[in-house]
Amino acid sequence: MKQHRNPFPPHLLILIAMIFPFLFLGCMSHERLSKVVKQLGWEYSLDAEGDYRIQVPLESGGTHTVGISSHATILEGEFAVRDVWAVAARIPGELPDGLAENLMSDSWGTRSWGTWALAGITSDGKRVLVRLGRIPVDAEKKMMASVLLETARTAYQMQNALSAIDASGEQE
């Protein structure tokens, strides 16, 4: 009886076995996200990177745009999460006095989903303040809706608070 020898070196098979779940997870997580976003019934679009931009309805009757990353981040090699964010403000120059301290206090004291972050600087030199959270890639509709609502509501409230400061002339 002739024995069949495996033509692939053992380390190649191990490497394939390690990478395949992450490739599969990425494909499946995007399909899952698409399905959950459609189930929400809210208006949305896809940006150039494939991230979702969802128009989340607010109690005031308006909407606030919340982004959801279509790409998963793998934590500790086994947990997959995706970013959820909403722009609260584009701040010219330096942050207003005390804002950073207030944002950290707000995140610690009153928020369950996420934190505040600076997402970068626009081409005209404004700092982009966002509400940022991370949720499991396998989040169901109820969790997704809760996170989107909290993210939109919090960013919208900060946007209004900063607009009030600008309008009063206290900060420039």
Mean pLDDT (10-residue bins), the chain, 172 residues: 58 52 50 88 93 94 94 85 93 81 75 82 91 91 93 92 64 43
Q: How confident is the model at residue 3, as a pLDDT?
A: 59
Contact status, residue 26 vs residue 71, Cβ threshold 8 Å: yes
Task: Provide the greatest CA pair distance for the chain.
Answer: 90
Residue with tokens 């120059």: 93
Contact status, residue 17 vs residue 66, Cβ threshold 8 Å: no
Q: How far apart (Å, rounded) are the C-alpha atoms in residues 136 and 117?
A: 19
Strand partners for 135 = 82
**What string of DSSP letters covers 96-160?**
PTTHHHHHHHHHHHH-SS-EEEEEEE-TTSEEEEEEEEEEETT--HHHHHHHHHHHHHHHHHHHH
Q: How confident is the model at residue 151, as a pLDDT?
A: 94
What SS3 state is found at 34?
Answer: helix
Q: How confident is the model at residue 166, as a pLDDT?
A: 60
Q: From its phi and psi, is residue 125 left (phi > 0), alpha (psi between -120 and 50) or beta?
A: left
Burial of 132 (0-12, 13-18, 19+ CB in 10 A): buried
**Domains of the chain by start residue, with CATH:** 10-168 (3.30.1460.10)
